[in-house]
Structure formats: C-alpha cells, structure tokens
Amino acid sequence: MTTGGYVIVAYVAGLAILWGYGVHLILAARKQVRRIEQHNGGKSCQSS
Amino acid sequence: MCRQCKQTLAWLITTMLFFAIAIALVAGYVPTEATMGPIQKIFYLHLPVAIATFVACLICFAASVGYALQRDMKWDRLASAAARVSVVFCSVVLLTGMIWGKSAWGQWWTWSPRLTFSLVLWLLYVVYVMVRASVESPQRRAIIAAVYGIIAFLDVPLVYLSVRLMPDIHPASVELAGSMKLTLIAWFGPVFMLMFGLIALRFRIDQRAAELEKVESEPITAPGQMTWAGGAGSAL
C-alpha cells in the first residue's frame, strides 16, 4: 500500500469508529424515546 | 421539535461541518511534511483524539471522585459515559498510531513505553466497562466503578510522561509550521465537540434509562403522567 493509502485508511477507519459510536448512541436514544412514547400514550417530545 | 432534539441536531450539524472543514484543510491546504512525507498527515487526527481521550479519562476520574464524596448516581452515570467514550477514542488513537507505525517504522506495533502505556490505558477502561456490566446492584456497581475509575486514571500521566522520562521511538514533541499549526487547531475543535457531545448523549441515555426503570417498577396510575428530569422525555 502507498503512504497516501495508509493516510486514507487511517482517516476513514478513525472517523468511522468515532461517528459509528455516535450513530449507535443516537439509535439507542431513539429506541428509548419510542419506549417512553408507549408509556405516555404517543407523546414523548414537547415543543418549546 | 423539543429543545433537546434541537440541541442534538445543532450539535450534530455543527460538528459535521467542522469535521468537513478540518478534512478539507488536510486534503488541500496543509503542505506535506518534508522528512516524513504524507504519512505525517495522520498526526492531525491522531493527536487531538489522543488529547480528547485524556480529557475523557479526566472526566471519568473527576466524576468518580464526585461519586465517592457525594454518593450521587449522576456522578456515576457521568463517569460511566466518559469511560465508554474514552474506550472509543483510545481505540482510534491506537489504530491511527499503528497505521502510522507501519508506514513510518515498518511495523504495526512495538513495545515502546508510550505505546505500551496507551494499550494499558485502553485495556483499563475496557475492563472498567466490563466490571460495570458484571455487578448487578447499582450502589455496589457505582462504588466499585468509582474506586476503579480513580485508580485507572493513574495511567494517564504515565502515558504522557513516558515519552519524556524513558527512551522511546515515539516522538516527544513535533515542530510545526504555521499552516500545520492552524490545521491541527482546526482538528481540535470537531474532535472535542464530538467527545463532549458523545459523553452528554451517553449520560442522557443512562439518566433516562434509570428514570424509565424507576417508573416501570412503580405501580401504573394513568397514562401521560410520566415526567422526566431531562424535560418531558425528549428525543435523541
């Protein structure tokens, strides 16, 4: 692999891990909101 | 849209925007370093993520001390969130460091003091997460995690000082030209925004999970009566 290839792999893999964890958390939060909606009869998010 | 949804969305868009600027600077603005060549460009991701890992570990340490002193579960949740994020960030530090090592030194890994202490740091926080998962009682888990979180942090100064106190293949400091410094500063912004944002998001999820568990364990009165400390069960 060329040096440029190593740089691209490092950036793609590094950012994929960081953002992958972010996506994981956002999905977990959305799942949690659906659970709250079940409790509150469809309401979970109040406008402000 | 609720207040917390808007906050999360704003954080997400701003962080992505700053990341896009930082990537553009590495791809098209910053010059290639004369001695090391293009592989030096990994540095702009590697260093900010390493410093962010230390800060996440420091938050875990401070929150562990907070729990030990006040016995408030909010401190425990903050310590847990920071520890998880530090594992993720430390994984990126090790990965980008290994790729750099393969290209610059010709080998993926070497047992130099800084690399070894960095691997130990990653293992310490992986074990922290595993220990938390293995203890069922919340109070017992919190006190064990607090003691562990305080002790685990002792490795952070070792990672930082190892390269200065012991002979090491890892560079201790790097001289940077003006454009390189600017690019490095541009990378610190989104990396720290992501780190703080992820800790806040993880903390909020754990906080809501605890409230949800509490409500579910109580007898049902009527629908629509659940209240949330985070502001009426906000999304994201």
What tens-digit pLDDT sequence spans chain A (48 residues)? 788 888 999 999 999 999 999 999 999 988 888 888 777 776 655 543
Residue of B nearest to A35 (CA): B212
B4 neighbors B235 (Cβ within 8 angstroms):
yes
Q: Which of B95, B100, B236 sits opposite A26 (nearest CB)?
A: B236
Nearest to B92 by CA among B181, B205, B236, B198: B198
Residue of A nearest to B8 (CA): A26
Report the distance separating Cα B51 and Cα B70, nearest Å.
28
Tens place of pLDDT for every residue, chain B, 236 residues? 677 778 888 988 999 999 999 999 999 888 887 777 888 889 999 999 999 999 999 999 999 999 999 999 999 999 999 999 999 999 999 999 999 999 888 889 989 889 999 999 999 999 999 999 999 899 999 999 999 999 999 999 999 888 887 777 777 677 777 888 899 999 999 999 999 999 999 999 999 888 888 877 776 555 555 554 444 333 33
Contact B234 A46 (CB under 8 A): yes
The pLDDT score that the predictor gives to residue B169 is 72
The predicted model scores a pTM of 0.87
Contact status of A14 with chain B (Cβ, < 8 Å): yes
The domains of chain B are located at: 3-30+41-217
Q: CA B217, B218, B221, B227: dihedral to nearest 10 degrees? A: -90
Report the distance separating Cα B216 and Cα B123, nearest Å.
35
